[in-house]
Structure 1
Amino acid sequence: ASFTVKVFEGTIAQVVALSSIMTIISGMGGNAGSQTQSILVRQIATDKVDFKRNWKSFVKEIFLGIINGTVNGLITVVIVIILYRNVFLGVITVIAMIGNLVVAGIFGFLVPVVLDKFGADPAVSSSIFVTTATDVLGFFIFLGLANIFLPMLI
């Protein structure tokens, strides 16, 4: 995650507000990923999960990421617009929130399944991989969008 932040150091220097918002994006992604991962670990423990049988659950997690990202993103957008008086910063925030919660659903589902498939205990190992994925990809989505739309943020 620190490498991702380093790549966008110049963007953050120009729009310091990004540094406070990106923690919200990564925090929400980590929370959502941990929740999905916990459910999957429980299902694995009770032998109720198999990726081939449960691809619908995988797709459901993606849609839940979109829905949760939209709802939480819109709440966050209102706060961002009030604090920073920049609609474009709010739009980037909601898009990044949706993207990161989709990432959380994907990794929260796949990591425990893959670890179990390779004989590792997903209850012990899943959260570190899920949190790393949501931090790195959440920062990349948010800061990447900020970099693309930088002229509208300054």
Structure 2
Amino acid sequence: VQRRIPWLLINLCTAFLAAFTVTLFEGVIAQVVVLASSMSIVTGMGGNAGNQTLTVVIRSIALGELELKKNWKKVFKEIMIGILQGAIVGCLAGIILYFKVGSPLIGFIIFLAMIGNMMVASTFGFLVPLILKRFNFDPALGSSIILTAATDVLGFFFFLGLASLFLPWLI
């Protein structure tokens, strides 16, 4: 419990940060209500994609197969994987939203947001456990907290930020 509670308290703070990010876009959400029911798709998918990467990296660290110093090519590869996963899943999400709400622009916005957030997820999922290990923190305890913070805050920001940029064409 002593080793876990500090990370959960950090998570509580970052959850409020994610909630604050959403409040920055309250006016946009009020004008395009479908954003409220769709934004968790971006954050949820980013979190899950990042956790896939995180799990593989933590296992590799435990087996002694991975160190921060020697893996910059692998970081780039993970970023590219995140972009590809984001494009595939984002395209499907965009098509579903298009048929659900009848707006190709909402579909395009979720597509772009998904690419951005899954790129972040892959990058954080790869680097965070290595950095925590480097500073003698247990990556198994803290990595998912940091990853979730990044994918929630940036996922909301990407999705709602893009929606605010395209707002004149959404209303």
Please state which band the TM-score falls in when normalised by the shorter chain: over 0.9
Contact 2:117 2:154 in 1 (8 A): yes
In structure 1, what is the equivalent of residue 151 of structure 2? Answer: 134
Return structure 1 stretches of 4+ with deviation > 2 angstroms. Answer: none
Identity within the alignment, %: 53
In structure 2, what is the equivalent of residue 113 of structure 1? Answer: 130
Amino acid in the other structure paired with 1:54:
N
Determine the C-alpha separation between the residues in 2 that align with 1:51 and 1:119: 13
**Over residues 6-29 of structure 1, what are the superposed CA-to-partner deviations in whole Å (9 max), with x where a residue is unaligned?**
000100010010011111000000
* Shift in Å, 1:85: 0.6
In structure 1, what is the equivalent of residue 97 of structure 2? Answer: 80
Determine the C-alpha separation between the residues in 2 that align with 1:13 and 1:111: 35
Matches within 5 A, 1:28-47: 28-47=45-64
In structure 1, what is the equivalent of residue 72 of structure 2? Answer: 55
Determine the C-alpha separation between the residues in 2 that align with 1:129 and 1:135: 10
In structure 2, what is the equivalent of residue 69 of structure 1? Answer: 86
Relative to the length of structure 1, the TM-score reads: 0.98
User: Which blocks of at least 5 consecutive residues in structure 2 are unaligned?
Assistant: 1-17
**Over residues 33-92 of structure 1, what are the superposed CA-to-partner deviations in whole Å (9 max), with x where a residue is unaligned?**
111111111111111112221111111110111110010011111111001111111111
User: Which blocks of at least 5 consecutive residues in structure 1 are unaligned?
Assistant: none
